[in-house]
């Protein structure tokens, strides 16, 4: 379980700049948080980015977090 994270850290050395490294860290954190919450990372990121592009309100940003997303998907499956 630790090996992919260690490889990612090593690859992040070649992010190009400090800003690139910070962006890499944000994405890696989101992906790992998705995995911990039982959410498929690719589907989560594409859905969240689509919602943001379509004008999701800033005041409801907490709905897009991985732990809230997992419970919302569970509710959709029940309905």
Which residues of the chain are under the pLDDT cut of 50? 78
Record the pTM: 0.67
Are the beta carbons of 8 and 41 closer than 8 angstroms? no
Cα distance between residue 71 and residue 63, in whole Å: 10
Q: Quote the pLDDT of residue 59.
A: 92
Cα distance between residue 58 and residue 61, in whole Å: 5
Q: Quote the pLDDT of residue 54.
A: 94
* Residue 29 domain boundaries: 3-78
Cα distance between residue 73 and residue 68, in whole Å: 9
Q: Quote the pLDDT of residue 9.
A: 63
Q: Quote the pLDDT of residue 28.
A: 83
Count: domains in the chain:
1
Q: Quote the pLDDT of residue 2.
A: 53
């Amino acid at each position: 379980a630790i090996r992919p994270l260690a490889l990612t850290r090593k690859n992040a050395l070649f992010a190009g700049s400090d800003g690139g490294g910070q962006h890499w860290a944000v994405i890696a954190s989101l992906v790992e948080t998705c995995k911990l919450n039982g959410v498929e990372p690719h589907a989560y990121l594409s859905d969240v980015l689509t919602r943001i592009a379509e004008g999701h309100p800033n005041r409801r940003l907490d709905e897009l977090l991985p732990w809230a997303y997992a419970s919302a998907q569970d509710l959709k499956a029940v309905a």
